[in-house]
């Protein structure tokens, strides 16, 4: 059973689909790419049932053929289109008030994302919430790979006991990362994977970020 949020010393936040509501944009961009190649479109519901990490597996699942186009080219096409419209994305309801409440409890917070790190820092600054985070950690590229190693490095730099930390995310990968670094995990099912899928992990899953207030 999870401790109350106020009992942790550090919170690792995922970014996409956890604090920022970007699922609609991911679906829009991937559908534009699929349509361009004559492949079937995805509803938001279907997207949440098939999205996965590493993202290369998701691309295979929805029909892209790497014998015709390398994954790296497809990934960059997605990223360019995605960030063209990213400014239209909004933080989930209650995100700022929750970050502020955690900060007031003197709990340190970090962002731990599979996004490219420099772009990640730029976007978090755009939303004016960088002041809440001790670390903002992403990957070196835009290929949305495994973030386990950067998570381990971040944990070491913060000198935090894993038992005193919790990772809050929206995907199987967030849970896998939490297991690798030895901290607790809470998942929110308003992001990139469905509540039905996440509940199969047997851990606490809430449906909306705003529900987190009930766990203080």
pLDDT band at 164 (very low <50, low <70, confident <90, very high): very high
Mean pLDDT for 49-69 is 94
Output DSSP code: residue 2: P
Beta-carbon contacts of 196 under 8 Å, excluding residues fewer than 6 positions away, are 49
Residue 20 has pLDDT above 80, yes or no: yes
Mean pLDDT for 84-108 is 96
Mean pLDDT for 65-80 is 94
Mean pLDDT for 159-179 is 95
Q: What pLDDT score was predicted for residue 141? A: 66
pLDDT band at 74 (very low <50, low <70, confident <90, very high): very high
Residue 27 has pLDDT above 90, yes or no: yes
**Beta strands per DSSP E along the chain:** 10-13, 20-21, 90-91, 108-116, 135-139, 165-169, 184-188, 205-206
Q: Which one is the CATH code of 5-21+89-215: 3.40.50.1000, 3.10.310.30, 3.40.720.10, 3.20.20.450? A: 3.40.50.1000
Enter the pTM of the model: 0.94
Mean pLDDT for 110-117 is 90
Residue 77 has pLDDT above 90, yes or no: yes
How far is residue 25's CA from residue 60's CA, in Å, rounded to a whole number? 20
Q: What pLDDT score was predicted for residue 142? A: 55
Q: What pLDDT score was predicted for residue 144? A: 55
Q: Is the bond into 123 cis (omega within 30 degrees of 0)?
A: no
Output DSSP code: residue 211: G
- Percent of the chain surpassing pLDDT 70: 97
Q: What pLDDT score was predicted for residue 146? A: 77
Residue 143 has pLDDT above 60, yes or no: no
Q: What pLDDT score was predicted for residue 115? A: 85
Mean pLDDT for 4-11 is 94
How far is residue 23's CA from residue 37's CA, in Å, rounded to a whole number? 21
Q: What pLDDT score was predicted for residue 186? A: 97
Residue 95 has pLDDT above 80, yes or no: yes
- What is the CA angle 110-54-155, rounded to 5? 25
How far is residue 33's CA from residue 1's CA, in Å, rounded to a whole number? 42
Q: Sheet holding 165-169: strands in order across?
A: 135-139, 108-116, 10-13, 165-169, 184-188, 205-206
Q: What is the mean pLDDT of the chain?
A: 94
Phi, psi of 99 (to 5 degrees): -60, -40
């Amino acid at each position: 059973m999870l401790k109350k949020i106020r009992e942790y010393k550090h919170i690792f936040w995922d970014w996409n689909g956890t604090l920022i509501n970007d699922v609609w944009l991911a679906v829009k961009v991937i559908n534009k790419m699929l349509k361009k190649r004559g492949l079937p479109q995805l509803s938001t519901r279907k997207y949440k049932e098939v999205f996965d990490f590493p993202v290369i597996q998701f691309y295979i699942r929805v029909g892209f053929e790497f014998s015709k186009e390398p994954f790296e080219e497809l990934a960059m096409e997605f990223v360019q289109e995605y960030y063209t419209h990213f400014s239209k994305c909004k933080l989930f309801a209650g995100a700022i008030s929750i970050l502020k409440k955690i900060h007031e409890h003197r709990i340190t917070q970090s962002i731990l994302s599979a996004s490219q790190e420099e772009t990640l820092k730029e976007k978090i600054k755009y939303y004016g919430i960088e002041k809440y985070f001790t670390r903002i950690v992403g990957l070196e590229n835009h290929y949305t790979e495994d973030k386990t190693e950067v998570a381990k490095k971040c944990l070491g730099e913060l000198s935090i006991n894993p038992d005193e930390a919790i990772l809050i995310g929206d995907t199987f990968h967030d849970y896998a990362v939490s297991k690798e670094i030895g901290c607790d995990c809470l998942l929110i099912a308003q992001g990139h994977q469905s509540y039905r899928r996440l509940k199969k992990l047997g851990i606490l899953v809430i449906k909306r970020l705003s529900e987190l207030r009930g766990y203080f």
